[in-house]
Amino acid sequence: MCVSLGPAEFSGTTLYMGRVHHPEHGLVHVLGYQNTAVNRADGPNAMLLHLPARGMTQDNFLEVGRSSDVLERMVEAVRPRSVAAGGMAWMGWEQPTRGVQVFEHDIYTVLLASDPTELPAALDRVPAHKRPALAPELMRFYAERYPGYAMAVCCFDNTEAAQAKPLLMWYPPLDPEVLTAPALDAHTGRPPGMAGRVPVDHWVLYGSDEAPAGWGEPVGHSPAMRHRLRGFLPDQVRGEQFSGLLPNGDFALTHAELLAGGRPGRVGAPVER
């Protein structure tokens, strides 16, 4: 389940949303994202991720290195006590960097912008074999429905769809008290439909460095994990498995709800901040 620029099948999605007081960057949110992708487009495709971030650059994307099982280890930590959910209630430092940044990350060529409407003009900076079509009306949808959000377009070709390592990124959040994981669903290259329900197949994991001992399940991180990556990840997590049909939207959880043992709910696209 995600937004793609062409036909694709995404299954086994794992999302992690966390909050941490980092010794260098201060209070930040961390997003982890991984799925199994089958590209059904005739050529290049891309995943779109909208992020409630106050400015992002290439440095906000974390290299997982040999720890490509980092999200799998979190799922294994919570799997014995998780409960499948067929539906949930419908809920909600400097200026953002301007312009479009283009860089390579794992299998992806990433376009990153604070204004989604600037993205189509930057497509010629993507290698031709990874360059998908990018409908201006889709970018306007994000600009209107998610004002102030950063937008990452992760471009891949049809031979790489199933080879991606998990995406992990950190950012100064627009709202430090609300953790959000992008989970809109649309695979046509057009704006997502916000009415009705969509099928989900998700693990949603969450954690905080303010959670007390015994709050969640301990995570057995790989001994080979890079020190920089380890500084953004929790010692313990909680999580839920979601399946069935849910309203189209993101997963969200306030930090207070997280500490109190709450569960993530679904939140539709905001139209104003």
Residue 272 in any domain: the answer is no
Residue 196 in any domain: the answer is yes
Model pLDDT for residues 210-233, shown as the tens digit of each residue:
999 999 999 999 998 999 999 999
Residue 152 in any domain: the answer is yes
For residue 10 the two structure tokens come to 């995404």
Residue 192 in any domain: the answer is yes
Residue 88 in any domain: the answer is yes
Model pLDDT for residues 254-268, shown as the tens digit of each residue:
999 999 999 888 775
Q: What is the pLDDT of residue 37?
A: 73
Residue 121 in any domain: the answer is yes
Q: Which domain holds residue 206?
A: 3-267
Query: For 70-82, what is the mean pLDDT?
Result: 85
Q: What is the pLDDT of residue 143?
A: 93
Domains identified in the chain, total number: 1
Q: What is the pLDDT of residue 231?
A: 96
Could you give the strand order of the β-sheet that contains 108-113, starting from the edge strand earlier in sequence? 3-4, 45-51, 150-156, 108-113, 100-105
CB-based contact 67:34 (threshold 8 Å):
no
Confidence of residue 14 (pLDDT cuts 50, 70, 90): very high
Model pLDDT for residues 90-99, shown as the tens digit of each residue:
333 333 345 8
What 3-state DSSP class applies to 63? coil
Q: What is the pLDDT of residue 164?
A: 77
Q: What is the pLDDT of residue 161?
A: 61
Give residue 191's identity as a one-letter amino acid code: P
**Average pLDDT value over all residues in the chain:** 86
How many CB atoms sit inside 10 A of residue 222's CB?
Answer: 16
Q: What is the pLDDT of residue 190?
A: 85
| Percent of the chain surpassing pLDDT 90 | 59
How many CB atoms sit inside 10 A of residue 104's CB?
Answer: 11
For residue 140 the two structure tokens come to 């306007």
Residue 143 in any domain: the answer is yes
- Look at the block and give the residue holding tokens 């390579």: 104
Q: What is the pLDDT of residue 271?
A: 39
Q: Count of residues for the chain?
A: 273
Model pLDDT for residues 102-148, shown as the tens digit of each residue:
999 988 999 999 999 999 999 999 999 999 988 899 999 999 999 99
* Whole-angstrom distance, CA of residue 264 vs CA of residue 12: 18
Query: For 73-92, what is the mean pLDDT?
Result: 59
Residue 273 in any domain: the answer is no
> Residue 88: pLDDT above 70?
no
